[in-house]
Structure formats: C-alpha cells, structure tokens
Structure 1
Amino acid sequence: MNLQEYINFVHDGKADWFVSECNSYYHMNRINKVVDIKEYLSGNHLINNRPAEQWNGKTFEPRRIVLQYAKTVLNFSTSYLLKNPVTLTGEESDVKVMKDVYKKGKLHRSDLDIMDKMVKYGAVYEYLFIDKDGKIKSKLIAPEDSYPVYNEQGEMICFIEHFTSVFNVSFYNIFTDSTVQKWTDAGGDLNFLGEFNNPGGLPVIYKNLNELDNTDGRSDLEDFVNIIDNMEDLISKYTDSIYKFLNPLPVVIGQKLNIKNNQGEIPTNLVGIGLNLDDGSDMKFVHGQLDFESFESVWKVLKQALLDISNTPAVSMNNTDISNLSEVSIKLLFSLADIKAGLNERYIREGFEQRFKKIEKLLGLQGIEINSDDIDVVFIYSRPLNESDIIDNIKTLKELGVMSLQTAVENAPMIYDPVNEIERLSKESVNKGNEDIVNNQLE
C-alpha cells in the first residue's frame, strides 16, 4: 500500500488527511505518553498529588519528597554507551569522507541526543539535509511532534511533523521519499505553504523494542517508575511520622495534682521552670517509637529492585564499596550494564545503517561516491578500566607475536580513534625510514 492508497483507504481521500491522522487515537495516545514522561522528568511526580491531612484538629500538609532517580538511571544508560564518541571503521577512503561529514555536521553531538531521547521516550527521528553551505546536517524531530505513517506491512510511507507555535498556530511538515509539503492553519483556515524537493527522504527512525508495537519504541522509564513512586511514598510518610509521633508528651505517674484556679496543672511550656510533685510520684516525657529498621529494610529492597530492573551497577550509585579490583572483577560488577548497553547498541546501530545510506545519497548529489555498506561503527563503553592490566596484556601478546599492531591499537584503552592512530604510526614509520636513509648516505 502506497501513500495515496493509504489516504484513500483510511481518510477517504481527503486533502487535509494529515489533520485527522494526527488526531487519531493511536497517535494521541502515543503523544500523551511522551508528554507524561516529559512532565515526570521535570518533577511532576505522583507523590505531589498527595492530599492534605487532618491531624490533631488541624490541617497538616504532608511531606512530598521527590526523588529524581529516573534522571540518574537514564543518564547513566546514555553516557555508558555514548560518552566516548563512536569510532568509524571500514574502507579507508570511505571512512575518511564519513569522518569529515561527522566533523562538519557535528553528528557525534547528535548521537548523544539521539540516545538520550531513545531511552527516555522509546523512539526519536532524525532528518538529514544539506544546508546552504553544502554541509550535511542532522535535525532531530521531537518525539511529541513526530507522527510516522505505516502501511499494512509495517513500512514507513510518510512522516508528519506537527507542532504548535507560541502564537497558537499549528504547522504540518509532510515528508515523503521525494518531497516535503508545508501547511499551516494561520488565520483560522488550513493554508498550503508549498512543496519542496526532499533529497534526504524520510527521517531515520531510532527505536528500542516494544513488545506490543513493532512500529514504535518503549520508554525505559516505564519499567521502574512505579518503584520510584513507592520509594517517594515510603520516605515521605516516614518523614511525616517523625513530626507526628516523635512529639514528646509529659506524663505524671502517681498522685494526681490538685488543680484549682489553674494552680497545679502541668504547664505547656516546661522549659526553664520547676514542677512540684507529691511524694512517690514521677514525671517523664514519652513519645512514639519509630521502627527505622523496617524502613531501612524496605528501602534497601526497593532501591536494589530499581538497580536490577534498570540494569544499573550498584557501584555507580554509591551502593557498594570497592577497592583494588582486577579487570575481571570490574567486568562482573558492570555485567548488567554491558547487557543493557549491548541491546541499546543494536537499536542505535540499526538507525546508523539508515543514516549512512542517506548520507551516501546526499554525497552522491555533491559528486562524492562512497559505499556505506563498507562502513561500520565501534562503540567504546564507559566501563571503568584497569588500564595497567590491559596494557601489560597487550604488551605480552605483542612480544609473543600473536597480536598485530592494528589489534593492539584497537584494544589500547587510551586510544579512541584507532584508524587515525594507525595512519599516524604509518607516517612516523615512513619518516623514520627516510631519516635512516639520509643518515646512512651522510655516513
């Protein structure tokens, strides 16, 4: 089913079909989820809806403690995979061109934004275009403004970018494989602004796994947001208990004091005054006892569940003490994070493959030919390294003659661009050889 067939079948061939498409239940439900996640990350948590209480005859405003653990966990997922820029590998001439595109278009910076939005909202879309200076640039379309259109086979046949400006004017950018149409409702009526050539084609989609919808992603936040809600509820109510039940009450044991003309009653301000009691009587302050051990036990269980489900190492959130760890021990501590990063790598790599194809097409329009199939990316995880152990192992294998120079460079922890480093080593080797020839001639 192509786009026109889709419009005829779903929207009865209407010219303003894109308006009803954006207002469909499927898209509205998806966009509402994105907006809810944005509000949650901005601090609008469930605990803020906790109502006021009546206690001791007065209105009591309970504690509403907000824990922004979600930001920490999601930022860790993003930084663990893409804190170090990806390394482009493959055919030397093609890699050189692609690295130039990355540098001029600042695509490494876009990679972090893509990963950030993918783990937060499940999916993000990237549009590649050539700017007025001839540079290939990347534009990320906000998830709440994105309306992809799929046919019955799950293939994207159109993409709508719909947003409303601060002046309450709606804009619609309709992307197809070859054109971009622009519409707006400025003035109250839907107006056609024009149709433009679209060499970049449809936007690139980056999405993770969604068991219920193979055309959309799923936010990582949905897996553990209820745990954070329970942690906030627990600590807020426990803090309230301190003020409610640890308020000491004076208790007199023995003969009841005779009260006449307010003489003999227990004053409400006992600090700095004396109290006379009958012989054999006693007076003390009592208060409720809080079971902090139960609180601590439940809190630890919830926090550990948060770490386990989000695949976040406990050591990264100061939940355990470490010292003098070997490389193997570090890998074991970060094994869950490696598993999660491996899955994210797979999802973002699928998007990179689409990106490379579109860059190849845009470069072709500029007369530059490359084969994007020969280009691959290497991800360098931000796992703490015992660099001394790694360097010693590389040195030993190199001396035994079972490791090449290229493999040694690729595995060295302090080298983030193996291709460039090998080129520099080759140049140094050639220059050294020329110097030796000159010295021999002089001798």
Structure 2
Amino acid sequence: MNLQEYINVVHDGKPDWFVSECNSYYHQSRINNIIDIKEYLSGSHLINNRPAEMWNGKVFEPRRIVLQYAKTVLNFSTSYLLKNPVTITGEENDVKVMKKVYKQGKFNRTDLDIMDKLVKYGAVYKYLFIDKDGKIKSKLINPEDAYPIYNEQGEMICFIEHYTTDYNVSYYNIFTDSTVQKWSDAGGDFNFLGVFNNPSGLPCVYKNLNELDNTDGRSDLEDFINIIDNMEDLISKYTDSIYKFLNPIPVVIGQRLNIKDGKGEIPTNLVGVGLNLDDGADMKFIHGQLDFESFESVWKVLKQSLLDISNTPAVSMNNTDISNLSEVSIKLLFSLADIKAGLNERYIREGFEQRFKKIEKLLRLQGIEINSDNIDVVFQYARPLNETDIIDNIKVLKELGVMSLQSAIENCPMIYDVGSEMERLGKEGNGLENTDIVNS
C-alpha cells in the first residue's frame, strides 16, 4: 500500500487527511503518553496529588517528597553509551569523508540528544538536509511532534511533523520519499505553503523494542516509575509520622496532685519549669515509637529493585562501598550496565545505518561518491577502568610480539582518537601508514 492508497482507504481521499491522521486515537494516545512522561520528569509526580488530612482537630498538610531518581537513572543510560564519541571505521577514503560530514554537521553532539530522547520516550526522529552553504545538517524532530505512517507491512510510507506555536497556529510538514509539503491554519483556514524537493527522503527512525507495537518504541521509565512512586510514598508517610506520633505527652504516675484554682496543674510549657510531686510519684514523657528498621528494610528493597530493573550499577548511586578493585571486578560490577548498553547500541546503530545511507545519497548530489556499506561505528562505554592493569597487559603483549602497535593504541584507555594518534606517530617517523580508523 502506497501513500495515496492509504489516504483513500483510511481518510476517504480527503485533501486535509493529515489533520484527521494526527487526531486519530492511536497517535493521540501515543502523544499523551509522551507528554505525561515529560511532566513526570519535570516534577509532576503522583505524590503531589496526596490530599490534606485532618489531625488533632486541624488541617494537616502532609509531606510530598519528590525523588528525581528517574533523571539520574536515564542520564546514566545515556552517558554510559555515548559519553565518549563513537569511532567510525571502514575504508580510508570513505571514513575521511564521513569524518568531515560529522564535524560540519555536529553529529556527535546530536547523538547525545538522540540517545537521551530514546531512553526517555522510546523513539525519536532525525531529518537530514543540505543547508544553504552546501553542508549536510540534521534536524531532530521531537517525539511529541512526530506522526509516522506505516503500511500493512510495517514500512514507513509517510511522516508528519505537527506542532502548534505559542500564538495558536498549527503547522504540518508532510514528508514523503521525494517531497515535503507544508501547511498551516493561520487565519483559521488551512493554507498550503508550498511543496519542496526532498533528496534525503523520510527521516531516520531511532526506536527501541516495544512488545506491543513494532512501529513504535517504549520509554525505559515505564519499567520502574511505580517503584519510585512507592519510594516517595514511603518516605513521605514516614516523615509525617515523626511529626504526628513523636509529640511527647507528660504523664504523672502516683497520687494525683491537688489542683485548686489552677494551682498544682501541670504547666503546658514544662521546659525550664520545676515540678513538685508527692512522695512516691513519678513523671515522664510518653511518645509513639517508630519502627525505623522496617522502614529501612522496605526502602532498601525498593531501591535495589529500582537498580536491578533499570540495569544501573549500585556503585554508581553510592549504594556499594568499593576499594582497590581489579579490572575483572569492575566488569562484574558493571555487567548489567554493559548488557543494557549493548541493547541501546543495537537500537541506535539501526538509526546510524539509515543515516549513513542518507548521507551517501546527499553526497552523491554534490559529486562525492562513498559506499556507506563499508562504514561502521565502534562504541566506547564509559565504564571505569583500572588503567594500570590495562597498560601493564598491553606492555607485556607488545613485548611478546603478539600485539601490533595499532591494537595497543586501540586498547589504550588514554587514547580515544585512534586515527589521529596513528597519523601523528607516522609523522614522527615511526614508519606507520595512515590507518583506516578515524575517530568521528
């Protein structure tokens, strides 16, 4: 099914079909979920809806403690994979061209934004184009403004970018394989703003796995948001109990004091006041007892569950004491993070492959030929390293003659731009030839 057939079948061939498409239940449900996630990350948590209570005859405003653990966990996932720029590998000439495109388009900077939105919202889209200076640039389309259209085979046949400005004017950018149509409702009526050539085609799709929908992603936040809600509820109620039940009450044990005309009555402000009791009598403060051990036990279970489900190492959130760890111990501590980063690498790599194809197409229009199939990327996880052990092992392997200088440089924790380092060594007269590995 192509786009025109889709419009005829789903929207009865209406000229303003894109409006009803954006207003469909499927897209509105998806967009509302994204907006809910945005509001949650901005501090609109379930605990804020906790109502006021009546206590001791007065209105009591309960504690509403907001824990922004979600931001910490999601930022860790993003930084762990892309804190270090990706390294482009492949044929020497193709890599040099791609390195120049990356530098001019600032793709490494936008990769962090892509990963950030991927883990937060499950999907994000990026459109590539040639600017007025002839440079290949990209535009990140926010997931709440994105309306992809797929046919019955799961292939994207159209993409709509829809947003509304502050002065209540809606804009619709309709992307196809060859054109971009622009519409707006300025003035109350739909206005056709023009159709433009689209050499790069549809936007690149970056999405993770969604068990219920293979055309859309799923936010990582949905896996552990209920755990954070319970942690906020637990600590808020426990803090309230301190103010409610730890208010001491003076109690006199023994013969009752002779109270006449207010004399002998226990003062309400006993601090700094002496109290005379009859012989054999006693006076003490009674207050409620809080079971802090139960609170601590439940809190630890919830926090550990948050770390387990989000694949976040406990050591990264100060949940484990460490000292003098070997390289193997560090890898064990970050094994779950490596597994999660491996999955995220797979999802973002699929988007990179689409990107390389579109860059190849745009470069061909400029008379530059590359083969994107010969280009690959290498990710360097932000795992802590025991640099001393790694360098000692590299030194031993190099002395034994079982490791080349290039492999030694690639595994050195202090060198990220392997290609540039090899070129510098070649210029210093070490007899090295230019490598086909260039850091982006």
CA RMSD of aligned residues (A): 1.2
Query: For residue 48 of structure 2, what is the aligned residue in structure 1?
Result: 48
**Residue 263 of structure 1: how far off its partner (Å):** 2.0
**Residue 122 of structure 1: how far off its partner (Å):** 0.2
Amino acid at match of 1:136: I
Report the Cα distance in structure 1 between the residues aligned to 2:237 and 2:165, rounded to whole angstroms. Answer: 42
Query: For residue 62 of structure 2, what is the aligned residue in structure 1?
Result: 62
Amino acid at match of 1:39: E
Amino acid at match of 2:173: N
Number of residue pairs the alignment of both structures matches: 433
Note if contact 1:147-1:162 (Cα within 8 Å) is conserved in structure 2: yes
**Residue 354 of structure 1: how far off its partner (Å):** 0.1
Query: For residue 101 of structure 2, what is the aligned residue in structure 1?
Result: 101
Note if contact 1:171-1:183 (Cα within 8 Å) is conserved in structure 2: yes
Note if contact 1:250-1:284 (Cα within 8 Å) is conserved in structure 2: yes
Report the Cα distance in structure 1 between the residues aligned to 2:253 and 2:185, rounded to whole angstroms. Answer: 80
Query: For residue 418 of structure 1, what is the aligned residue in structure 2?
Result: 418
Question: What pairs up with 1:123-272 in 2 under 5 angstroms?
Answer: 123-272=123-272
Note if contact 1:125-1:140 (Cα within 8 Å) is conserved in structure 2: yes
List runs of 5+ in structure 2 lacking aligned partners: 434-440
**Residue 431 of structure 1: how far off its partner (Å):** 7.8
**Higher RCO structure, 1 or 2 (CA under 8 Å, sep 6+):** 2
**Residue 313 of structure 1: how far off its partner (Å):** 0.3
Report the Cα distance in structure 1 between the residues aligned to 2:425 and 2:372, rounded to whole angstroms. Answer: 26
Query: For residue 436 of structure 2, what is the aligned residue in structure 1?
Result: none
Query: For residue 302 of structure 1, what is the aligned residue in structure 2?
Result: 302
Amino acid at match of 1:212: L
Note if contact 2:50-2:64 (Cα within 8 Å) is conserved in structure 1: yes
Amino acid at match of 1:93: N
For the structure 1 residues 262 and 402, does the alpha-carbon distance in structure 2 shift closer, same or farther, using more than 3 Å as the test?
same
**SS at structure 2 position matched to 1:252:** strand
Identity of aligned residues (%): 86
**Residue 158 of structure 1: how far off its partner (Å):** 0.4
Note if contact 1:124-1:207 (Cα within 8 Å) is conserved in structure 2: yes
Amino acid at match of 1:328: V
Query: For residue 326 of structure 1, what is the aligned residue in structure 2?
Result: 326
User: What's the CA shift string for 1:99-154, capped at 9, x where partnerless?
Assistant: 00000110000000000000000000000111111111111001100000000000
**Residue 264 of structure 1: how far off its partner (Å):** 2.0
Amino acid at match of 1:170: S
Note if contact 2:426-2:432 (Cα within 8 Å) is conserved in structure 1: no
**SS at structure 2 position matched to 1:182:** strand
Report the Cα distance in structure 1 between the residues aligned to 2:225 and 2:264, rounded to whole angstroms. Answer: 56
Amino acid at match of 1:139: K
Query: For residue 438 of structure 2, what is the aligned residue in structure 1?
Result: none
For the structure 1 residues 329 and 30, does the alpha-carbon distance in structure 2 shift closer, same or farther, using more than 3 Å as the test?
same
**Residue 393 of structure 1: how far off its partner (Å):** 1.0
Structure 1 runs (4+) greater than 6 angstroms displaced: 430-433
Query: For residue 38 of structure 1, what is the aligned residue in structure 2?
Result: 38
Query: For residue 71 of structure 2, what is the aligned residue in structure 1?
Result: 71
Report the Cα distance in structure 2 between the residues aligned to 1:252 and 1:224, rounded to whole angstroms. Answer: 51
1:18 and 2:18 aligned: yes
Question: What pairs up with 1:286-297 in 2 under 5 angstroms?
Answer: 286-297=286-297
**SS at structure 2 position matched to 1:71:** helix
**Residue 413 of structure 1: how far off its partner (Å):** 1.0
**SS at structure 1 position matched to 2:44:** coil
Report the Cα distance in structure 1 between the residues aligned to 2:56 and 2:226, rounded to whole angstroms. Answer: 32
Report the Cα distance in structure 2 between the residues aligned to 1:44 and 1:105, rounded to whole angstroms. Answer: 35
Note if contact 2:45-2:66 (Cα within 8 Å) is conserved in structure 1: yes
TM-score computed with the length of structure 2 as normaliser: 0.97
